[in-house]
Structure 1
Amino acid sequence: MQASDLHATPPARFIGSEIYRHSSYGAWHPLRVPRVSTVMDLARSMGWLPPAQFITSPRAKTAALMGYHTPTYLAALQAAEAAQNVTDEVRAKHNLGTPSNPVFKEMFRRPATAAGASLLAGELLRHGGVIYSPAGGTHHGLPDRANGFCYLNDPVLAIQSLRRSGAQRIAYVDIDAHHPDGVEHAFAGDEDTLQISVHEQNRWPRTGVLTDAGVGQVYNLPVPAGLNDTEMALIRDELILPLVADFRPDAIVLQCGADAVTEDPQSRLTLSNNAHWAIVAALRTLSPRYLVLGGGGYNPWSVGRLWAGVWATLNGHDIPDVLPQAAQGILGALTWAGPFRQHHPQAHWITTLRDTPREGVISDAVRTGVQSLATRRARWV
């Protein structure tokens, strides 16, 4: 389906839920911090999220999750939530009740809500448009196992839903600091799914090396620690955008994990949030259907600010140099306590959304990696 075949598209829509406001993986886990609720509150405080653009996420039904996940695993996940415990057998088989994937109160309902948003997004984009679901992006989930904080794989379910709704060729772009091993597992041999991942090299799950390529269109770019905005601009302009444009997708799914910024504790990359927003804006024009998901992000201030800015970018809102007092109050009320210490915010984490750009020299490793993948693209085109 071409853009000319689609109806006039509605304004961007935001899918969220109150389940994320008080849900936590546990007091010691990286996902103990509020994220989606902060984005919702910031967007509303800025006047960017009127009721007409907000959709309350449904919770995916078990049958809908079987598009990717096995019945045995889904039953084990729901049983673990009900019992708040797992057996040694279930832990070994399904990777539940581990330090990365702990038992917690909403361990099925929370990811099933994010999955419900992705499934609904595919349906709502049948006639084109833009949808933002910051709770999505759980790109590590495997059919029969939890993996890397991800109990379900909502990007896979989103791509399946988009395809059922008429989008045949789908570009999946992932700028999280971690490689999307679960998504690649699902679509590595699919010629109609373009996969592009920019992630930190030697970072868990330590997959997605430069030489990896599935039968389909898989482009992995592992980047060294210290990746800066200038390097990401090169990657954007010389790799991501040409690949997507040449692919001519019916839909784009962007996983916009916020863990590649300097302040995040789960990577050694040094981007500012400007790098993410520039990619969000640039991809929007390349397909009639656009779904933007969240992903990683473990500093409550940096992830809330980055993802609120994504929503502003999708709607063309100006981001002020200094936030109004209501928005500052939301950021000022955040806390980040860990098992060993209390983290304190920097002043600009409270007063601004936009980071100071973090530009720098383009490393030989980044330039060589981009050129290598660009050469593959040239052979493909």
Structure 2
Amino acid sequence: MLTDPLFIGSEIYRGSSYGPNHPLRVPRVSTVMDLSRALGWLPAERFVTSPRAKPKALEIWHSRAYIGALQRAEETQHVSSETRSRHGIGTSNNPVFPEMFRRPATSAGGALLAGELLAEGGVVYSPAGGTHHGFPDRAGGFCYLNDPVLAMLSLRRQGVHRIAYVDIDAHHPDGVEHGFAGDPDMLMISVHEEGLWPRTGGLDDVAGGSAFNLPVPAGLNDTEMAMILDRLIMPAITAHRPDAIVLQCGADGVEEDPQSHLSLSNNAHLRVLRALRPLAPRLLVLGGGGYNPWSVGRLWTAIWGELAGHDAPDRMPPEAEAVLRDLRFDGNRRGRNPPEHWFTTLIDSPREGGVRDDIRARLDHLTARLVPVN
């Protein structure tokens, strides 16, 4: 059993970009690594360099034809119209770029390794993970491979069968739902923005009985998320009695994110993490969405601090502040005049508010399905 939490990362993410106009042009994992080290939170013994998954290993879920198409596209930096149509690569969302196989294969390798590391219990953090829109034969939503599915299949290979997957990304995890729909040992809970791409995960979508989908309206605040945690997430997981929890902690629900319309502070994500951690002997925390480099870097670093047992400083030390001041977010109005607290603090001010009636009604609808715990 792991005695201390481990952080899985890689230098491949430093300088790698989906392209100058793509939302994933911003640094994310490298920022988290740099901030965590600047804070003194990431000693060498806690850091694991992610292996790159071999093509054969990816066939645990992805098709051989698709893996081959990704490799050829990286090698030639070109896809045919037939490949684009069949596999969804070479599109504006999932473009051809220099590391288009190696980069997702690295996060997938980290996911497969995480399942092995957690065989006997413990905590693993892989902020590069969370690519929840990948399908067996097709890319989607900036995701070429589906590392959450691969991680859970890796856990299954270790004999860990009862798994709870909680996804608080602003987007619905359509690929994960596809991978485990109807599996009685799998519980999926997704809290996502209503009407946002991929526009799946409706309130009555139960995925063969294995999912609770909660689409929420724009403007979701910390108070509403706390109610969702208390009334839905915690009771559902407690009833499921999982042997492992996988938490996808996408940062795109934070208010400053340019791709969604929710109004959470990063306190909401940390509250979910703290509540879930005691509920299973194995915990894997993944990244996910997030397209403002400051909000992503601060949130995901705070998550690692929480897992590793560190208190966030009231004011960033100079080395950490320098990491944040070096970030750029060109071409976005939020990046032209960033507020000072993005440089000097790790934790947001809470964004609390009233709980809207439609959120209460949706929770009533879902909680009617909960099985009482004896």
Note the 1:255-334 alignment, pairs <5 A. 255-334=248-327
Is the CA contact 2:256–2:334 (under 8 Å) kept in the aligned structure 1? no
Alignment of 1:181 with 2:168, yes or no, is no
1:243 pairs with 2:236: yes
2:147 is aligned to 154
SS class of match (1:254): strand
CA distance in 2, matches of 1:213, 1:47: 43
Cα-to-partner distance string for 1:92-151 (whole Å, 9 max, x where unaligned): 111111000000000000000000000000000011000000000000001111100000
Please show how residues 82-121 of structure 1 align to structure 2 within 5 Å. 82-121=75-114
Partner of 1:123: 116
Task: State the partner residue of 1:4.
Answer: none
Report what 2:68 is aligned to: 75
The percent of aligned pairs where both chains have the same amino acid is 64
Please give the per-residue CA displacement for 1:325-364, whole angstroms capped at 9, x wherever unaligned: 1000000000011389963321100000000000001011
* Cα shift at 1:255: 0.3
- Check conservation: 1:134, 1:294, Cα contact below 8 A: yes
For residue 137 of structure 1, what is the aligned residue in structure 2? 130
Residue matched to 1:348? 341
Alignment check: 8 A CA contact 1:12 1:132 kept = yes
Q: Determine the structure 1 residue equivalent to 2:35.
A: 42
> Contact conserved, 1:27 with 1:338, CA < 8 A, in 2?
no
Normalization by structure 2: what TM-score? 0.98
Q: Aligned AA for 1:67?
A: I
Instruction: Verify the 8 A CA contact 2:239 2:371 in the aligned structure 1.
Output: no
1:357 is paired with a residue whose SS is: coil
* Structure 1 letter corresponding to 2:252: D
Question: Contact 1:174 / 1:196 at 8 angstroms: preserved in 2?
Answer: yes
State how far apart, in whole Å, the 2-side matches of 1:365 and 1:216 are. 23
Contact 1:28 1:339 in 2 (8 A): no
Q: 1:27, 1:339 within 8 Å by CA — same for their partners in 2? A: no
2:27–2:293 CA contact under 8 A, matched in 1: yes
| 1:152/1:380 CA distance change after superposition, 3 Å | farther
* Amino acid in structure 2 at the alignment position of 1:224: P
SS of 2:8's partner is: strand
Name the residue aligned to 2:330. 337
Q: Which runs of 5+ in 1 are unaligned?
A: 1-6
Asked if structure 1 preserves the Cα contact closer than 8 Å seen for 2:88 and 2:140, the reply is yes
- Aligned residue identity for 1:108: F
Return 334-343 or 366-375, whichever deviates more.
334-343
Structure 1 pair 167/366, CA: closer, same or farther in 2 (3 Å)?
same
Question: 2:11 matched to which residue of 1?
Answer: 18
Per the TM alignment, residue 228 of structure 1 is displaced from its structure 2 partner at its CA by 0.1
Whole-Å separation in 2 of the counterparts to 1:321 and 1:238 = 31
For each residue in 1:46-67, what CA deviation from the matched residue of structure 2 results, as whole angstroms up to 9, or x when unmatched? 1111101000000001111011
Distance 1:340 1:333 in 2: 17
Give unmatched runs, 5+ long, in structure 2: none
1:216 deviates by 3.3
* CA RMSD in angstroms, aligned pairs only: 1.3
Query: 1:360 is matched with which residue?
Result: 353
Moved more, 337-346 or 161-170: 337-346
Q: Secondary structure at the match of 2:291?
A: coil
Residue 192 of structure 1 aligns with an amino acid whose one-letter code is: D
Partner of 1:228: 221
Deviation at 1:373, TM superposition (A): 0.9
Evaluate the alpha carbon distance shift between residue 208 and residue 34 of structure 1 in structure 2; reply closer, same or farther with a 3 A threshold: same
Matched, 1:59 2:52: yes
Shift of 1:379: 7.5
Q: In structure 2, the residue corresponding to 1:130 is in which secondary structure?
A: strand
Change (3 A) 1:357 1:68: same
Q: Is the 8 A contact 2:23 2:291 kept in 1?
A: yes
Residue pair 2:238, 2:373 contacting (<8 A) in 1 also: no
